[in-house]
Amino acid sequence: MKTSTALKKINLEISEFEERLFDHSIVEITDEEGVIIYANKNFCKISKYDADELIGTDHRILKSDEHSPEFFADMWDTIVGGKVWEGEIKNKAKDGSFYWVKTIIIPITDEKGIKNYVAIRNDITKEKEIQERLLRMEDELLKQNVTLLSEVEKKSGALLKSERLATIGTMASRIAHDLKNPLTIIHTYADMLTPEILAKLDPQDREKWFRLQTSVLDMNRIIEDVLDFARTTEIKKKKTSFLSVLRLAMNHVKPSYGIVINLPENDVSIKCDARKMEGVMSNLLNNAVHAVDGQGEVDVEFASDSKNLTIKIKDSGPGISEKDLDKIFEPMYTTKTTGTGLGLVICKSIVEQHGGTISVSNKPTTFTITLPLS
Ligand SMILES: Nc1ncnc2c1ncn2[C@@H]1O[C@H](COP(=O)(O)OP(=O)(O)OP(=O)(O)O)[C@@H](O)[C@H]1O
Ligand SMILES: [Mg+2]
């Protein structure tokens, strides 16, 4: 049926011009019950139904699950009340595909009341798709923004921490540096006591002198640690026997009765900064001896392949609690009364400067270092 004929049938006065406009829209006319009595070619095209399949049914044939029952109730309330309803509807075509239409439903009345409804629709599927894509993108951007914000927060936290550490480092190194001179004087004067003078001291005073000497050495080591932490000097790599590095490190290990330290029998030649590696080994060995505290063993093992040397330092001590495993490589973390908590930080920094890695595991407590051979 032509639009004009259908409109005439329902006594709608419409100009030729407006009829032309209808040709570009999706037009549907229903009776007062909502039963379709007219569907133009655009309606058939978009819904993929033939006109005779649409006529005689109601608009529920096209219903998608997009809208709530309240949405349709509101629409019906409006048009039954004689008012024009406008909105956007998602419909389902005959082949199951969906389309969006901007809809205006006009109730046509005569003296007896509502006679028909004329629905004029325009396809807005593309706009909706773009809108949905934009919403998805906005959603994605919001999510990325949240991730970025937490990333920035984390990074600025780390920066703040490293800035704070740098300040502590500068202050500590200044204090450590200033303490070095008076300490050297104490050390020198204590050293001036010759064996003859010492022999004249009674055992108690001699013990005091020994304690003075070891305290001076302890202080000196702490100062060196702080200075090492503050100044990350460049490493100077040289071909070195790692067993000799380990033996030199043993000189700085506090001997403890009842603790056996087993050194490896094999040697590995490696390019490294021997002085710094000596410091790494002595800190790890001292930590192990301190952990064993009494009767026990510390084993040092070397293993190598064509590229790396792996050093394992195992001890029979109680190990490190799970919650502290991550913390022990953080500056100032110590469980010792005389510790600086810088030992492992310095070890890690030196090992990483060499392009290596350091890690720890329990049962038995094992510190594993891998170092590239060259
Ligand atoms: N072999 C180990 N067994 C158990 N705990 C360990 C072991 N090695 C390190 N730790 C723990 O890690 C902490 C940090 O060690 P780190 O060497 O950094 O500092 P420190 O030994 O406490 O102080 P410093 O090295 O300055 O004397 C120690 O206080 C200790 O709690
Ligand atoms: Mg230590």
pLDDT, residue 265, reads 94
DSSP 100-153: EEEEEEEEEEETTEEEEEEEEEEE-HHHHHHHHHHHHHHHHHHHHHHHHHHHHH
The pLDDT of residue 267 is 97
**d(C-alpha 156, C-alpha 158), whole Å:** 5
pLDDT at 330 over 90: no
Please report how many Cα atoms fall inside a 13 Å half-sphere around the Cα of residue 205, on the Cβ side: 8
Tokens of 353: 């400067």
The rounded Cα 15 to chain-centroid distance in angstroms is 66
Q: Do domains 3-123 and 233-372 have the same CATH topology?
A: no
Alpha-carbon distance of 48 to 92, in angstroms, equals 10
pLDDT digits (tens, 9 = 90+) for 137-195: 999 999 999 999 999 988 888 787 777 777 777 777 778 778 888 888 888 888 887 77
pLDDT over 90, % of the chain: 57
Per DSSP, 233 falls in state P
Distance, CA 331 to ligand 1 centroid (Å)? 11
Point out the ligand 1 atom lying closest to the alpha carbon of residue 288.
1
Residue scoring higher pLDDT (320 or 211): 320
Reading the block at residue 47, the tokens are 């819904």
The pLDDT tens digits for 46-102 are 999 999 999 999 989 999 999 999 999 999 999 999 999 999 999 999 999 999 999
Residues 6+ apart with CB under 8 A from 250: 261, 263, 282, 285
Q: Whose CA is nearest to atom 22 of ligand 1?
A: 334
pLDDT in tens, 15-45: 555 566 667 899 999 999 999 999 999 999 9
Any ligand 1 atom below 6 A from CB of 342: yes
pLDDT at 18: 57
- Looking at residue 300, the DSSP 8-state letter turns out to be E
Question: For residue 257, is pLDDT > 90?
Answer: no
Q: Which pLDDT score is estimated for 14? A: 55
Pocket probe mutation, ligand 1, options 217, 225, 340, 344, max atoms within 8 Å of Cβ: 344
Q: Which CATH number fits domain 3-123: 2.90.10.10, 3.30.450.20, 3.40.190.80, 3.30.365.10?
A: 3.30.450.20
- To which CATH superfamily is domain 233-372 assigned? Histidine kinase-like ATPase, C-terminal domain (3.30.565.10)
Candidate from 58-62, 66-70, 213-217, 295-299 with smallest mean pLDDT:
213-217
265 DSSP 8-state letter: S
What pLDDT does residue 5 have? 61
Query: Three-class SS of residue 176?
Result: helix
Each domain of the chain, given as residue ranges in start order, spans 3-123, 233-372
Instruction: Reply yes or no on whether the pLDDT at 2 is more than 60.
Output: no
Identify the CA nearest to 219 among candidates 255, 184, 173: 184
**Atom 7 of ligand 1: nearest residue by CA position:** 287
CB 116 within 8 A of CB 29: yes
Q: Average per-residue pLDDT in the chain?
A: 88
Region 223-238 average pLDDT: 78
Average pLDDT estimate for 256-272: 94
pTM score, whole prediction: 0.55
Q: Which whole-number Å values give the CA distances from 301 to 287, 315, 319, 358, 374, in the listed order?
A: 16, 12, 18, 15, 19
Residue 87: CB within 6 Å of ligand 1? no
